């Protein structure tokens, strides 16, 4: 299996999306006071604004060989959003995860499953995302976008940044729900749809993945299989993995629910180590 590289435009596109979010965060901010602020070191402020992100990932068999790289790139986007600030304060970040196109899912529901509802628990999102497996099925992009729009609690204010990232490798037009209708619904609720085609950039355009993004003012990008990933090893990589393992051993959990959640950061750490080792091969 050839390693898969992120299309060189994807990271740039995602930064454009983050820049757009930053502009929205600052557009209604109050003018600065002419008097210098006193020098203090307060705890990091929490913004009243929020970021809501829905990840929609194709888990059909056609994604074999692509799924791990797609997960990795989606998670890098999560990390970028987690670092975002609005008016020098961190907005609340909530993420939901859906899988679609898996034959193990209910046909009547469009082979779609909400894996994780909107949550601020990034460990849970990481564990759920990296545990997804491929298994046959049919991929209905319009249907999964519409489902996410109807099931999730999106904000009614323009102050929040709301976005969907959908990744897959089959035509965007498949299924009974017209993607144009679904994307129009998203736009009406202030939700941007960014599309990631797992395959040739032009093929994604020809199968209307770009059209879906354009309808909401989003961005289209691709992950190409015929380009090798260039991995530059940092001298700190091994130390970071080792320190992560030691840190996980220092947690003390109590109660049944806490003991169950104890596995989340450990699993997330294992996934990071797995990806690191895989990129070096």
Give pLDDT, residue 259: 54
Give pLDDT, residue 153: 96
pLDDT at 102 over 90: yes
Quick one: pLDDT band at residue 163, thresholds 50, 70, 90?
very high
Residues 68 and 251: their CA atoms lie apart, in Å, by 29
Q: Could you tell me which residue, 250 or 204, shows the higher pLDDT?
A: 204
Do 267 and 121 touch, CB atoms closer than 8 A? no
Burial 138-153 (b: 16+ CB within 10 A, else e): bbbbbbbbbbbbeebe
Q: What is the mean pLDDT of residues 237-261?
A: 67
pTM of structure: 0.73
Q: What is the mean pLDDT of residues 36-61?
A: 74
Residues 91 and 89: their CA atoms lie apart, in Å, by 6
Give pLDDT, residue 212: 97
Label the pairing between strands 191-198 and 220-224: parallel
Give pLDDT, residue 85: 83
| Residues paired with 119 in a beta bridge | 95
Do 268 and 245 touch, CB atoms closer than 8 A? no
Mean of all residue pLDDT scores within the chain: 79
Q: Residue 30, Cβ neighbours under 10 Å: how many? A: 6
Q: What is the mean pLDDT of residues 99-120?
A: 96
Quick one: pLDDT band at residue 3, thresholds 50, 70, 90?
very low
SS3 250: coil
SS3 123: helix
Take residue 27 and report the two structure tokens written for it.
């557009």
Q: What is the mean pLDDT of residues 28-35?
A: 41
């Amino acid at each position: 299996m050839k390693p898969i590289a992120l299309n060189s435009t994807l990271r740039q596109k995602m930064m454009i999306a983050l820049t757009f979010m930053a502009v929205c965060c600052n557009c209604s901010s109050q003018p600065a006071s002419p008097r210098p602020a006193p020098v203090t070191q307060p705890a990091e402020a929490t913004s009243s604004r929020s970021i809501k992100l829905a990840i929609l990932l194709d888990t059909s068999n056609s994604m074999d060989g692509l799924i791990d790289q797609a997960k990795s790139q989606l998670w890098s986007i999560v990390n970028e959003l987690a670092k975002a600030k609005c008016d020098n304060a961190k907005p609340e970040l909530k993420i939901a995860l859906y899988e679609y196109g898996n034959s193990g899912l209910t046909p009547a529901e469009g082979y779609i499953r909400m894996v994780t509802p909107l949550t601020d628990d990034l460990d849970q999102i990481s564990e759920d995302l990296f545990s997804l497996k491929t298994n046959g099925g049919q991929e209905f992009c319009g249907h999964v976008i519409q489902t996410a729009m109807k099931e999730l609690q999106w904000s009614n204010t323009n102050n929040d940044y709301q976005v969907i990232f959908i990744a897959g490798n089959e035509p965007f037009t498949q299924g009974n729900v017209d993607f144009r209708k679904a994307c129009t619904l998203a736009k009406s609720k202030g939700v941007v749809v960014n599309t990631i085609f797992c395959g040739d950039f032009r093929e994604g355009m020809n199968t209307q993945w770009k059209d879906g993004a354009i309808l909401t003012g989003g961005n289209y990008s691709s992950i190409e299989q015929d380009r090798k990933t260039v991995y530059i090893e940092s001298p700190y990589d091994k130390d970071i993995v080792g320190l992560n393992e030691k840190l996980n051993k220092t947690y003390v959990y109590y109660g049944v629910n806490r003991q169950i959640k104890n596995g989340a950061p450990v699993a997330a750490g294992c996934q990071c180590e797995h990806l690191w080792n895989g990129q070096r091969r």
